[in-house]
Homo-oligomer: A and B are copies of this chain.
Amino acid sequence: MREINKNLFKKVKLDDVAEKAGVSKTTVSRVLNNRGYISVKTREKVHEAMELLNYQPNEIARSLFINKTFIIGLIFPSTSNPFYGQLIFHLENISESLGYKVLLCNSQGREDKERDYLRMLQRHQVDGIIAGAHNRGIEEYNNSRLPLVAIDRYLSESIPVVSSDNYDGGKKATELLLKKGCKHIIHINGSPELETPANLRRKAYEDVMEKNLLTPCTYVNEDNAIETIFDENPHVDGIFASDDLIASDVMREAKKRNISIPDELKVVGYDGAEITRRLVPELSTIQQPVKEIAELAIKLLVSQINGENISKNEWNLPVKLMEGKTT
């Protein structure tokens, strides 16, 4: 009895199909991959046998032989973030349409985790990696001979980076606040030590401010940054936050302090993810072309996988100002 069960549970393989169809496993493989000449009669027999046994090819064995897994590794801080969640959704989607699967890695912004994931993905023989995590200084990115694409992060000189046009986004945001009459505009951004293209949002803000003979003032988004801003700048009348979550926090704090938006304070965010737009549509924001970023990233990765050379290392995709009621 146990013997029978054991056999029932055993996965069916090429040999089993071959036996059932009365041919060799080479023939079955040929039918499976549509290669070489096969007589119609044989093909039918084999297909029948496959149906009958509910045969599923073992991709692991195939991968080992052809030395390719059709798996792409994704390393991002967290699927829980609206922007990354949406980006990952599109990356997976497009991958799937091209026959690739994705292995998901949440690095949580931790360099050690990112390093471990990178090694894991290599051991798993992924065909390439798309990373939107953490900072450079992970030398493994250079050592690995793997096709790589970075999203909004500089990983190393030779790795292509796909971003929204951060400079233009920062410019659009700042100019909007100015146009609406703001005189004391403050910018909130991540740590300037992370060498990300997102720093260009800050750069643009500072350039625009100076061009208008105003003093730029950037706060790093750390504990209590928002309260500090209001405490230290009673006259602030415009805030450009480097992402929508922070912008939303700003709106909340303003409400708490009875500062009315947009009359006394105007706020602009960045990202414009689907979910944020739905939950906080009143927030003015600079929307990243998430789907286009995903498409380009995959395209650049697959090109590399196919051995093509990438002509350019930095790609900035156009952003869109979404004006709500906070400006």
Contact = CB atoms under 8 A, between A and B. Distances in A.
Contact of A249 (B61, B120, B278): B278
Contacts of A57: 123
Interface in A40-91: 54, 56-61, 63-64, 69, 71, 74, 78-82, 85-86, 88-89
Nearest to A143: B54
Given A60-B60, A125-B59, A275 B80 contact: yes
Contacts of A275: 80-82, 245, 275
Contact of A58 (B58, B59, B71, B125): B125
A93 interface: yes
B69 A79 contact: no
A115 interface: no
A60 B64 contact: yes
B123 A58 contact: yes
Interface string A226-250: 0000000000000000000100110
A23 interface: no
A238 to B, nearest CB: 21
Contacts of A273: 80
A122 B11 CA distance: 10
Interface in A133-177: 143, 145
Given A125-B59, A280-B279, A86 B92 contact: no
Given A54-B143, A60-B124, A274-B80, A103 B102 contact: yes
A72 B279 CA distance: 32
B85 A80 contact: yes
A281 interface: yes
Contacts of A81: 85, 275
Given A64-B64, A275-B82, A104 B104 contact: yes
Interface string A16-59: 00000000000000000000000000000000000000101111
A154 to B, nearest CB: 24
Interface of A: 9, 54, 56-61, 63-64, 69, 71, 74, 78-82, 85-86, 88-89, 92-93, 96, 101-106, 108, 119-120, 122-125, 143, 145, 245, 248-249, 252, 273-276, 278-281
Given A64-B64, A88-B104, 9 more contacts: A56-B122, A79-B88, A79-B92, A80-B86, A81-B275, A82-B275, A101-B124, A102-B103, A276-B279
13 contacts: A9-B145, A56-B122, A57-B123, A58-B125, A59-B125, A60-B60, A60-B63, A60-B69, A64-B64, A74-B104, A78-B89, A101-B103, A103-B104
